[in-house]
Amino acid sequence: MCIFCKILSGEIPSYKIYEDEHTYAFLDIADDYEGHTLVIPKEHYENSLDVPVEILKKVIATTQKVAQHYVNNCGYTGVNIMNANGVDAEQSVFHLHYHILPRKHDDGRKSWVDYPKINSDMSALCEKLRIK
């Protein structure tokens, strides 16, 4: 059983922010951003690539609901919403989850790495990636 399933079963305590029939939102104990929140489905799916679209819609709706609450009612001026899918994308817990990072003006936090340009052949890349 994964750590998020253990949280859902009550085996591991959590700081619940929101819960409905299909989803659960709770504070990330990493405590690296004020209000860092995780949103998960109550059913176990590894990530966004294997979850049925109807469940994914519910997770995204809860993510939006919590993010809007933070901006509209809690004094934050923005949020970063992040998700990783697979080992090479740095997914560390293999239960679908979205991170909500509440933000304030001049909070001193940086969410995006400033990578140098890699000079891709954009035409070839587009041809490789295009859905046909």
pLDDT one-digit tens code per residue, 96-109: 999 999 999 999 88
pTM: 0.93
Q: Tens digit of pLDDT for each residue in 27-64?
A: 999 989 899 999 999 999 999 999 999 999 999 999 99
Overall average pLDDT of the 80-103 stretch = 97
- 88, pLDDT greater than 90: yes
Residue 114 has pLDDT above 90, yes or no: no
The half-sphere exposure of 66 on its side-chain side, counting CA atoms within 13 A, is 30
Q: What is the CA radius of gyration of the chain?
A: 17
Q: What is the DSSP string of 5-16?
A: HHHHHTSS---E
Amino acid at site 125 = L
Name every residue whose Cβ is closer than 8 Å to that of residue 68 and which is 6 or more positions away in sequence. none
Active site residues: 97
Residues of the chain with pLDDT > 90, as a percent, come to 88
> At residue 20, does pLDDT exceed 90?
yes
Query: Are 33 and 108 in contact, with CB atoms under 8 Å apart?
Result: no
Which residue bears the tokens 């591991």?
A: 12
pLDDT at 93 over 90: yes
